[in-house]
Amino acid sequence: MNIPQRFLNLNYYLQKYLGELPPPPLHPASRQPVGPEDLTPLFPMELIKQEVSVDEFVDIPDEVREIYKLYRPSPLIRAKRLEKALKTPARIYYKYEGVSPAGSHKLNTALVQAYYSKKEGVKRLVTETGAGQWGSALALATKFFGLKCLVYMVKISFEQKPYRRVVMELFDAKVVPSPSKKTRVGRSFLKQYPRTHGSLGMAIAEAIEVAAGDEATKYSLGSVLNHVLLHQTVIGLEAKDQFKALGDEPDVVIGCCGGGSNFSGLAFPFLVDKLSGKKPNRRFVGVEPSSCASMSKGEYRYDFGDTGQQTPLLKMETLGSDFVPPPIHAGGLRYHGIAPTLAFLHQKKLVEAKAYDQVSVFRAAQEFAHSEGVIPAPESAHAIKAAIDEALRCRRQRKAETIIFNLSGHGLLDLKGYEDFLAGSLR
């Protein structure tokens, strides 16, 4: 099987089959749709073009595809031992993105963003990271393309996951716990919330302030925006070809949701068949932590993407840009909102949302590790929990459905969470 040559743009199909696109980002002052000039301080022009594109496909640069060869195509694995343990007639598959050099799916977009930044003459990328999967991926991508990297890591994850920080520093990235005293907005957070564990919204605000104040620096984002979801569709495109070779097709597609890139990357290529009417009964399930469930509990409205209220206004399901989630171990899912495109799909009832507490999620992760031998990242364990529940439903209903979930990364650097789970100290 070959690596896809193009990314799939879901907006093309939304326009074709629904005649409607997700509402555009708005300038917070004028309340008018943002233009390229509003985004150029933050992003390279090619990524801005991809953000608003309605072309069916976007070419993957040859230089990026060469690096993809280190780990792509990623394997589609049937979890037969898990099926046997659950005594289910369902067929359970997982797309395993943990085989990437950075350990997760995040490298898929990090390489593209670093490539276009380098091409435009950018010297440094600045970003935020929760659990550290995105920060690790961008640190590696910037090293491959000869850029500097600055990462604001959410404070609780900085403390819980020290070896993710080591990975970033190994690739010469500078890592700062957020909120910090290094930015104006960081100092304001510390004054307002002196005992805060931090949040992705706070870390985003710090990174944006740095990018906006330095012409040689651009901001890089690991989720939420259209161009990021676009780059992740390489996952689902591969999975469709792999299923075709197996002579099977999924009935249920599952992924964890923080900002939405993991779920969207797997789901969007399969969602095309639902939009076209080819697979009208195919289900799509986005899984969240119950303590930060933006799709399940949030309001669908315009809100800022960061706690410092510096970004354009995004139409999304949100808990509020000032929401600070509890310090759960799935740091990559501790975001107050969801990708505007994913929120739009949820509102249209094309995507379902489920939310679980972290104890039940870690229990599902242990069951998966016992049967399949893979220790999943806590974020991915949310998808595993949903896949197990769907498989048990199939057992009750005596249905032999096909289930696929995205195992977005391994959990070998998340063992503090597993230690707390085994000790019974998880809240």
If one compares 28 and 269, the residue with the highest pLDDT of the two is 269
What is the reported pLDDT for 37? 87
Q: Is 311 inside any structural domain?
A: yes
Which of 97, 393, 107 has the alpha carbon at shortest distance from 255? 97
Q: Is 368 inside any structural domain?
A: yes
Q: What is the CATH number of the domain that holds 324?
A: 3.40.50.1100
Q: Is 418 inside any structural domain?
A: yes
Residue 111 pLDDT > 90, yes or no? yes
| Residue 375, CA distances (Å) to 74, 143, 333, 384, 405 in order | 17, 27, 18, 11, 15
The whole-angstrom distance between residue 155's C-alpha and the CA centroid of its chain comes to 19
| Residue 1, CA distances (Å) to 73, 243, 244, 412 in order | 7, 11, 11, 28
Contacts 24+ apart (CB under 8 A), 245-248: 245/1, 246/76, 248/91, 248/402
Q: Mean pLDDT over residues 94-112, rounded?
A: 97
The whole-angstrom distance between residue 12's C-alpha and the CA centroid of its chain comes to 21
pLDDT band at 334 (very low <50, low <70, confident <90, very high): confident
pTM for the structure as a whole? 0.95
* DSSP-derived secondary structure for 40-93: TTTS-HHHHHHHH---SEEEPPHHHHHHHTTT-SPPEEE-HHHHHHHT-SSEEE
Residue 197 pLDDT > 90, yes or no? no
What is the reported pLDDT for 395? 98
What is the reported pLDDT for 399? 97
Residue 327 pLDDT > 90, yes or no? no
Asked if residues 345 and 271 have their Cβ atoms less than 8 Å apart, the reply is yes
Q: Is 84 inside any structural domain?
A: yes
Average pLDDT over the chain, rounded to an integer: 94
Q: Mean pLDDT over residues 169-193, rounded?
A: 94
What is the reported pLDDT for 78? 98
Give strand ranges (E) for 251-360: 252-256, 283-289, 299-304, 313-318, 352-356
Give the H or E element holding residue 94.
Answer: strand 91-96
Q: Is 296 inside any structural domain?
A: yes
CA torsion through residues 192, 197, 201, 205, sign? positive
Q: Is 148 inside any structural domain?
A: no
What is the reported pLDDT for 154? 93
The contacts of residue 36 (CB under 8 Å, 6+ apart) are 45, 48
Residue 330 pLDDT > 70, yes or no? no
In angstroms, the CA 255 to CA 382 distance is 8
pLDDT band at 160 (very low <50, low <70, confident <90, very high): confident
Q: Is 395 inside any structural domain?
A: yes
Residue 345 domain boundaries = 62-103+227-423
Q: Mean pLDDT over residues 410-420, rounded?
A: 91
Report the number of distinct structural domains present in the chain: 1
* DSSP-derived secondary structure for 153-207: EEHHHHHH-HHHHHHHHHTT-EEEEES-SSSHHHHHHHHH-TT----HHHHHHHH
Residue 249: helix, strand or coil by DSSP? coil
CA torsion through residues 257, 324, 300, 11, sign? negative
In angstroms, the CA 175 to CA 135 distance is 9
In angstroms, the CA 412 to CA 376 distance is 8
Tens digits of residue pLDDT in 365-384: 999 999 999 999 999 999 99
In angstroms, the CA 64 to CA 220 distance is 16
What is the reported pLDDT for 331? 67
Q: Mean pLDDT over residues 256-277, rounded?
A: 96
In angstroms, the CA 31 to CA 184 distance is 25
Tens digits of residue pLDDT in 58-90: 999 999 999 999 999 999 999 999 999 999 999
Which of 415, 45, 76, 55 has the alpha carbon at shortest distance from 253? 76
Bridge partners of residue 124, in order along the sequence: 148, 217
| CA terminus-to-terminus distance, the chain | 44
What is the reported pLDDT for 27? 92
Residue 329 pLDDT > 90, yes or no? no
Q: What is the DSSP letter of 14?
A: I
Stretch among 7-11, 148-152, 198-202 having the lowest mean pLDDT: 198-202
Residue 256: helix, strand or coil by DSSP? strand
If one compares 192 and 270, the residue with the highest pLDDT of the two is 270
Q: Is 247 inside any structural domain?
A: yes
Residue 1 pLDDT > 80, yes or no? no
Q: Mean pLDDT over residues 41-65, rounded?
A: 95
Angle, helix 261-275 to helix 234-246, in steps of 10 degrees? 60
Q: What are phi and psi of 68, to 5 degrees?
A: -55, -30
Give strand ranges (E) for 305-391: 313-318, 352-356
